[in-house]
Structure 1
Amino acid sequence: MFTIYVYVLDTLADWELGHVTSELNSGRFFKKGAERVSLKTVSYSNEPITTMGGMKIVPDCLIDDIVVSGKSVLILPGANTWDDPKHCAIIEKAGELLSSGALVCAICGATAALANVGMLDTRLHTSNGPGFLEMFSPGYKGQNFYIDEPSVADNNLITAGSTGGLLWAKQIIEHLGVFESNTLESWYAYFSTGKPEHFFALMQSLQPGKEN
């Protein structure tokens, strides 16, 4: 079973996580036989955090509780507080997870935190547009690996800009292999266009005998 660790911190950007956490936690479109995942919020302390939208989240566990294994996934959301030194521990843990082959997913401000410690210097990645990482990450030297797309997957590292949450979610789900491929394509097409034909294709893909 995959364990999805979602790092929570003050000013967390609520909208960036909605698609990926709801689909992984609910399992509503999982393919037949796919294991449900365990989704846990994690932080540097047990104290509640307040998201950008004013929601209070009490972490389920602490950084030291994260198991470093191929079945662990770390999700790092955007926030305005990533430059606080107390988040150094989770960035160090992200490095351990990447080295072990575990999946690390960072979006928006979290990409700047990875860039600042050199974690994006030799990996394909993206962020909030060209120039963003240079502005917010003095240690960044990965310009040659930057791709100007909403979300970029490079093996077990998936990065996205603040408006790339939907594609980021798609790439994370694809990496985990919990959707049938036609279900995932229909899901992405529906949520990115709103066209009803994609919704019906999504529903049809869940019927017995429709798997790819």
Structure 2
Amino acid sequence: MKKEIIFILLNDFADWEGAHIAACLNQGVKPGSPAKFTVKTLSLTKEPVTSLGGFKVLPDYSLNDMPKDYAGLVLIGGMSWFTPEAEQIVPLVEKAIKEDKLVAGICNASVFLGKHGFLNQVKHTSNTLDYLKNYAGEKYTGETDYVNKQAIREGNIVTANGTAQLEFCREILYALDADTPQNIEESFQFYKNGFCPE
């Protein structure tokens, strides 16, 4: 049975930051390779959420019916991670980290992780250190573990800046052992460079 990876989507989420990851997890890292995971979505309620690009998603789960048996959380960036409503996600992240499950955050979702102290003991990145410090506030004390890279993984924590959807995907695939390192790297290079590298 495939393990579920739950994508947390809030209104005004950044569609492009999760699309490639979802496809690689749900259909396999490369065409013809086996898929070990299935992608599900969660939001605060089961009401539709709308992306920055205008796509409407009907979440599979709300905060009230999230399953206990899942392999990880992927927090997709967007404009709602600084709202009071987003605070309802904190217990989910705390529980996932305690259970040593994947927790991945990109763009403003990485700032959300920093804001709640989840990045203080691990290597991490975000939308520049200054941006992270400015928006995360006083609970963020992990400046010495900040790495100026597109995406980084330490254990089951993956972070990325908002321009790093492919790097974010690659680190998540490695963290989940979703395929062989060779297939993960070949997939990344193909989508990064395309058929016609410039």
The two structures share one fold, judged by TM-score above 0.5: yes
Seq. identity, %: 27
Contact 2:29 2:178 in 1 (8 A): no
CA–CA separation in structure 2 for the residues paired with 1:145 and 1:124? 5
- Higher mean alpha-carbon deviation, 105-114 vs 19-28, is at 19-28
CA–CA separation in structure 2 for the residues paired with 1:112 and 1:67? 25
- Higher mean alpha-carbon deviation, 97-106 vs 167-176, is at 167-176
CA–CA separation in structure 1 for the residues paired with 2:67 and 2:101? 10
CA–CA separation in structure 2 for the residues paired with 1:174 and 1:122? 20
CA–CA separation in structure 1 for the residues paired with 2:62 and 2:16? 23
| 3-state secondary structure, aligned to 2:129 | coil
| 3-state secondary structure, aligned to 1:44 | coil
Contact 1:30 1:179 in 2 (8 A): no
| 3-state secondary structure, aligned to 1:65 | coil
CA–CA separation in structure 2 for the residues paired with 1:67 and 1:60? 10
Partner deviation per Cα, 1:125-178 (whole Å, 9 max, x = no partner): 000112011111112211111000000101010000001110110111122222
Gaps of 5+ in 1: 198-212
Which residue does the alignment assign to 2:166?
166
Contact 1:158 1:172 in 2 (8 A): yes
Contact 2:110 2:126 in 1 (8 A): yes
Which residue does the alignment assign to 1:20?
21
Gaps of 5+ in 2: none
**1:148-187 counterparts in 2 under 5 A?**
148-187=148-187
- Is 1:49 the counterpart of 2:49? The answer is yes
Contact 2:78 2:109 in 1 (8 A): yes
| 3-state secondary structure, aligned to 1:75 | strand
**1:40-189 counterparts in 2 under 5 A?**
40-68=40-68, 71-139=70-138, 140-189=140-189
| 3-state secondary structure, aligned to 1:97 | helix
| 3-state secondary structure, aligned to 1:6 | strand
Partner deviation per Cα, 1:42-96 (whole Å, 9 max, x = no partner): 0111111110001111111112433445x52100011111111111121221111
Larger Rg: 1
- Higher mean alpha-carbon deviation, 57-66 vs 5-14, is at 57-66
| 3-state secondary structure, aligned to 1:40 | strand
| 3-state secondary structure, aligned to 1:121 | coil
| 3-state secondary structure, aligned to 1:15 | helix
Contact 1:127 1:161 in 2 (8 A): yes
Shift in Å at residue 26 of structure 1? 1.6
TM-score of the superposition, structure 1-length normalised?
Answer: 0.85
* Superposition RMSD in Å: 1.9
CA–CA separation in structure 2 for the residues paired with 1:112 and 1:28? 28
TM-score of the superposition, structure 2-length normalised?
Answer: 0.91
**How many residues are matched?**
195
Contact 1:6 1:74 in 2 (8 A): yes
Contact 1:68 1:97 in 2 (8 A): no
| Aligned amino acid, residue 169 of structure 2 | A
CA–CA separation in structure 1 for the residues paired with 2:35 and 2:80? 34
